[in-house]
Structure 1
Amino acid sequence: MDTRFLESFIAIVERGSIADAARQLALTPAAVSQRVKALEDQIKQPLLIRAGRTVTPTAAGLAIIEKSRQLIRVVEELKSLASQDEFTGELRVGAISTALTGILPFMLRKFFIDYPQIDLHVTPGQSIKLYHEVLEGRLDAAFIVEPPFAIPKTCGWKRLISEPLMLLVPENCTETNALKILKSHVFLRYDRNQWGGRVADNFLKEKKIFPKEQLELDSLEAIALMVSQGVGVSLLPDWQPPWPEGLKVRKIPVADSPPYRHIGLLWLQASQHANLIKTIDISTKKLKINKITDDKKPL
């Protein structure tokens, strides 16, 4: 089976029309149609339904679309392996939201200069999901929160930055004692299903603090916006800027030696790009915590 037939079929499904797929592939619509017809003849099933200019996959088309994508990826990997050059081909990387804005921008410009033949694909997601996608080989690497357990030997790990836990309060909150604030204000909880949220939860348990919990979210940016609007207070890692603009909040230390959320790079040792991934480094001089305020009265 000619993989060019699969590429044309995938392009039509993703673009929704033969004309758009032809423009993407730099072919004529007639050539793209011929490729799909040849593929249908080989599979002996109709794969597309044509309704005017719109094209949708049949049940058979839907059944093979994901496997077709996987096959194309495997072929590209084989080409890279045959060339004996690990600095070419597709590199699939995942990243949590704060790493997308606070870490990746500092590495991408130099990365593209150093590795111009690498086709980089970045997938956003939560740490737990990205962790499993690396283990299962769907991603080569991911910027995630450090797991609360040992990294398996099939993977490599590099810690990049540590973010201290702090209490985020509205700007008009005049109290500076974190313990009093947690006892008297509505608490917006960083999702305990997330590894970063467990850092905050463990701290509360250790201090035997039981705040008036109102809401539990997995988005740090959303929690910060709600604190700014006076909805409540929250225990969060002091993550890398940028933060949402226009926040009216203060940061209060929770301890002289606070717990930390650690962010790092996880990669699959079996990845063809493992050696390249190991060279990825972020200058800690460029990574700075955006201090909105710093009230020196720890819990």
Structure 2
Amino acid sequence: MDTRFLESFLAVVDGGSIAEAARRLNLTPAALAQRLRALEQDLGQPLVLRAGRRVRPTAAGLAVLDPARRLIESTRDLRAIAAQDEPAGQLRLGAIATSLTGLLPEIIAGLRLRYPRIDYYVRPDSSMNLYQAVIGGELDAALMVQPQFPVHKSAGWLTLRHEPLILIVPEDLPDIDSRQILTAQPFIRYDRNQWGGQIVDRYLRQNGLKVREMLELDALDAIAGMVSRGLGVAIVPDWAPPWPEGLRLRRHPLPGAGGRQVGVLWTLSGARTAAQQAFVAACRARTSDQGLPGGAGQM
């Protein structure tokens, strides 16, 4: 049995659709569907049911779900163990949206030159979900916002960027005091379910700022796009570029407003320790190159 077919089945179940699973695995939907059919023929049972664009597991699919996850995990660990101390095997990473475009490509590009035997799985998600995934062993490491509570003893933390809070306003808005802008203009809020959004909310409350909230979004690039179109103003962390092209807005610093720390969280044990350490070392080298503090954590 080809374990890639099992990985495809798991991706379909986790993603809820053939299209989403194909995107995650960098396959065409037709190629992924072919893998799924081959696995069903091998096992002699239909594993998924299709309802429009959505897919859900059959009774047989549910029965093999957990054993399939354990088998895939064991296969990945065998590859890493066989490589001994050389970083190899699949490295399961997570990243928030801004790190996915602003930090991760540079780090992986450097790693691929040194350690070509590492394979990568990358899961985009919120910091809250990524934290739980790393602590629970679903991911080996994640680029995310530092939690506002002590990191679990089973994990290490390294700060890569300090992103101060800034006020972004439409380009043609008169240049007046930031407090006046915030109280007079419609406010586009960074989602309070996100750790970064909670930092923004705390700043507003601590400074007694009553805003005219228009809507609340969890995507920073979407917030910037709304502001660029003149729909309101927003407070956001000054996230790692690239920002969306063609934005017509101005950025105002907010002295004393604080910000969010973005860094890497990783597990301190497991069969893929060599690959994890190589990834964290690449992150640490990036902080040294930019003259940033090394952050807290363990190696």
Do both proteins adopt the same fold according to a TM-score greater than 0.5, normalized to the shorter chain?
yes
Structure 2 spans left out of the alignment, 5+ residues = 13-17, 23-29, 50-55, 291-299
Q: Which amino acid aligns with 2:257?
A: P
Q: Which range moved further: 163-172 or 61-70? A: 61-70
2:265 corresponds to: 266
2:120 corresponds to: 120
Q: CA deviation at 1:280?
A: 2.2
* Partner SS for 1:143: strand
Q: Aligned to 2:280, which of 267, 278, 281?
A: 278
* TM-score normalised to structure 1 length: 0.78
* Partner SS for 1:280: helix
1:215 corresponds to: 215
Pairwise CA RMSD of aligned residues? 3.2
Task: Check the 8 A contact 2:188/2:232 in 1, yes or no.
Answer: yes
Whole-angstrom CA distance in 2 between matches of 1:143 and 1:95: 5
* Partner SS for 2:286: coil
Whole-angstrom CA distance in 1 between matches of 2:9 and 2:126: 30
Task: Check the 8 A contact 1:86/1:276 in 2, yes or no.
Answer: no
Q: CA deviation at 1:11?
A: 4.9
Task: Check the 8 A contact 1:93/1:140 in 2, yes or no.
Answer: yes
Q: CA deviation at 1:48?
A: 5.2
Deviation readout 1:184-224 (Å, 9 max, x if unpaired): 01111111111111111111111111111121111111111
Task: Check the 8 A contact 1:8/1:36 in 2, yes or no.
Answer: no
Whole-angstrom CA distance in 2 between matches of 1:151 and 1:211: 33
Indicate how the Cα distance of structure 1 residues 7 and 69 shifts in structure 2: closer, same or farther if over 3 A, else same.
farther
Whole-angstrom CA distance in 2 between matches of 1:258 and 1:219: 21
2:72 corresponds to: 72
Whole-angstrom CA distance in 2 between matches of 1:106 and 1:83: 25
Task: Check the 8 A contact 1:192/1:201 in 2, yes or no.
Answer: yes
Q: CA deviation at 1:75?
A: 2.2
How many residues align structurally? 266
1:171 corresponds to: 171
* TM-score normalised to structure 2 length: 0.78
Q: Which range moved further: 232-241 or 81-90? A: 81-90
Q: Which amino acid aligns with 1:276?
A: A
Equivalent positions of 1:1-299 (< 5 A) are 4=1, 7-8=4-5, 11=8, 20=31, 36-37=41-42, 39-40=43-44, 46-47=45-46, 58-65=58-65, 67-255=67-255, 257-271=256-270, 272-273=272-273, 274-281=276-283, 283=286
Q: Which amino acid aligns with 1:174?
A: P
| Higher-Rg member (1/2) | 1
Indicate how the Cα distance of structure 1 residues 118 and 197 shifts in structure 2: closer, same or farther if over 3 A, else same.
same
